[in-house]
Chains A and B, each alone.
Chain A
Amino acid sequence: MNEFVLALGWFGLYAPVALGAIGSAWGCALGGSAAIGAMLDSDGGYGRFIGASLMPSSQVIYGIVIMFTLQRETMSAEAGAAMFGIGVLAGFALMYTGIRQGEVLASAIHASKAKPEIFGVSLAPAAVLEGFSVFALVFALVLAGSIPT
Chain B
Amino acid sequence: MSDKFRYITLISSLPYLGKLFSQKSVPVSEFRLRERLKMLDDGHKDLLEKVISVTAWAGVAKLDTDADVVRLAETVIDAVHEYPALQDLVRVRMETRTIIAALRRRQHGDQSAGDIHTWGYGRWRTRISDNWSDPSFGMGHFMPWIAEANGLMRKGDHIAMERLSLTEVFRQLDRQAATHAFDFEAVVIYVLRWTIVQRWSTYNGEAAATRLRKLIDQALKTAPDLPGPPLGATQQEEAPA
Residues of A within 8 A of B (CB): 29-30, 33-38, 40-41, 106-107, 109-110, 113-115
What's the dominant secondary structure at chain B's contact region? helix
What's the dominant secondary structure at chain A's contact region? helix
Chain B, range 10-26, C-beta contacts under 8 Å to A: 10-16
CA of A30 to CA of B36 in the docked complex: distance in angstroms? 19
Of residues A36, A41, A114, which shows the largest number of chain B Cβ atoms within 10 Å of its Cβ? A41
Tell me if B8 and A113 are in contact (CB < 8 A). no
Tell me if B13 and A37 are in contact (CB < 8 A). yes
Tell me if B12 and A114 are in contact (CB < 8 A). no
Q: Which residues of the other chain, B, contact A109 by a CB distance below 8 angstroms?
A: 12
Q: Which residues of the other chain, A, contact B10 by a CB distance below 8 angstroms?
A: 37
Q: Which residues of the other chain, B, contact A41 by a CB distance below 8 angstroms?
A: 12-15
Tell me if A34 and B9 are in contact (CB < 8 A). yes
Tell me if B5 and A110 are in contact (CB < 8 A). no
Q: Which residues of the other chain, A, contact B11 by a CB distance below 8 angstroms?
A: 37, 110
CA of A26 to CA of B211 in the docked complex: distance in angstroms? 55
Of residues B1, B5, B14, B15, which shows the largest number of chain A Cβ atoms within 10 Å of its Cβ? B5
B191 within 8 A of A: no
Q: Contact string, B12-52, partner A, CB cutoff 8 A, digits 1/0?
A: 11111000000000000000000010000000000000000
Tell me if B181 and A113 are in contact (CB < 8 A). no
B124 within 8 A of A: no
Of residues B1, B13, B16, which shows the largest number of chain A Cβ atoms within 10 Å of its Cβ? B13
Q: Which residues of the other chain, B, contact A106 by a CB distance below 8 angstroms?
A: 8, 12, 182
